[in-house]
Structure 1
């Protein structure tokens, strides 16, 4: 009896592991399909199953639609980005430095992981960053606390969030399309965001420099960090 039970447990575990592997394979294929898609176009299911080398029927065993895959990837990416940002910069008391870190992380990752850039630059990523996940308040909270301390200036919190996130996404799109793996471009883009939040240019450059130095110091904790192109 014990042998039969052990065999059954093994089969259940094996089946579960097989499902997990195929699930991950389809998600990876979707991200690769986004990277391969021409600028301005979104991949379709045929693109995903071609990359994954599976049948359409196999795809539908795991997902009802490509929108479901996109939503899963988007939520996962947003959650990971926000968690990493919080873990690496929560201890920094200067809120200007903390705000500069967001665009720096997003743009550095776009340069180092093109598949990530291909996805976030082609979907409504703000929807995932501003969703129901409790971590979605991290950006808003940081901006609001920075304003209360007088370290950043703005009237509309929503406009400030759109500035930070929107410029980051557009920068990621440019990096993806041009292959401009340029640390100077990344730092200047973050500096312009800080100017938009009311800092003077010397203050903005100082905040970006401090955030960049800290990011490089803790980069070993980021699985995607792969220095390229002078970054």
Structure 2
């Protein structure tokens, strides 16, 4: 009686594994390939699938890029959430989030190259568009921040982080890079310089990704 349902579950699992294999290849390939056709060819080669199989899952290179970017955004937000949400103060939350993202990108160097291609797609991720505005609104409502426009705050934080990740992609940044970045981001939101520096230098545990996360697998 359960045999048809079992076959459906097995087929769904197989499909999810294949999709995951393509996303893993994409995370590595898109950080280096400039030409979309070449990128698709290399993803197919790395994933060990046929061209027909690729197009069963994605319409084109941009479709694949968006899917990989969304997965990356979700994984990053899940990794930093316990660190960010352990703090009540909005400024401390923003500072911890900025530092944690930079820490993860620094630990997985291939991510920086991927961000150069897909950064704006990553910023469209649902978790990014929910969690960061949540903390910005908390800071605005409590007058912790002097800005009064949510989208401006989002751009100040997310845009600065993207620019910083681009720096990581083209050269090695100093060990204190994340701290200095968080300090300046907080100042741009209206936190006093002395306090911004204290928050940015406070002890912070390193964010951890699950061993079988897309980012971790692609970084091996």
Q: Would the TM-score normalized by the shorter structure come out above 0.5?
A: yes
| Structure-2 separation of matches of 1:178 and 1:62 | 35
| Structure-1 separation of matches of 2:101 and 2:12 | 34
| Structure-1 separation of matches of 2:89 and 2:145 | 10
Mark the runs of 5 or more structure 1 residues left unpaired by the alignment.
225-231
Deviation of 1:30 (Å): 0.6
Deviation of 1:150 (Å): 2.7
Q: Count residues with an aligned counterpart.
A: 210
| Structure-1 separation of matches of 2:13 and 2:134 | 39
- In structure 1, which of residues 54, 73, 76 is the aligned counterpart of residue 49 of structure 2? 54
Q: Check conservation: 1:30, 1:48, Cα contact below 8 A.
A: yes
**TM-score (norm: length of structure 1):** 0.77
Deviation of 1:96 (Å): 1.2
Matches within 5 A, 1:186-225: 186-210=178-202, 213-216=203-206, 219=207, 221-223=208-210
| Structure-2 separation of matches of 1:209 and 1:223 | 26
Task: State the Cα deviation string for residues 122-175 of structure 1 (Å, max 9, x = none).
Answer: 2252x55346x3762221121121122232221332121101001111111111
| Structure-2 separation of matches of 1:163 and 1:169 | 10
| Structure-2 separation of matches of 1:102 and 1:128 | 15
Deviation of 1:93 (Å): 1.6
Between 1:61-70 and 1:158-167, the stretch displaced more is 61-70
Deviation of 1:215 (Å): 3.1
**Shift >4 Å, 4+ stretches:** 8-14
Q: Check conservation: 2:140, 2:148, Cα contact below 8 A.
A: no
Task: State the Cα deviation string for residues 47-91 of structure 1 (Å, max 9, x = none).
Answer: 321322322112112222222222222222223333444333223
Q: Rate the CA distance shift 1:147–1:10 in 2: closer, same or farther, 3 A.
A: closer
Query: 3-state DSSP class of the match of 2:143?
Result: coil
Mark the runs of 5 or more structure 2 residues left unpaired by the alignment.
212-220
Q: Rate the CA distance shift 1:144–1:16 in 2: closer, same or farther, 3 A.
A: closer
Task: State the Cα deviation string for residues 7-64 of structure 1 (Å, max 9, x = none).
Answer: x6665554443322221111111111023336xx666312321322322112112222
Tell me which residue corresponds to 2:29.
33
User: CA RMSD for the aligned pairs?
Assistant: 2.7
**TM-score (norm: length of structure 2):** 0.81
| Structure-2 separation of matches of 1:94 and 1:9 | 49
Q: Check conservation: 1:121, 1:173, Cα contact below 8 A.
A: yes
Between 1:144-153 and 1:23-32, the stretch displaced more is 144-153
Which fold has the larger relative contact order, with Cα–Cα distance below 8 Å and residues 6 or more apart in sequence? 2
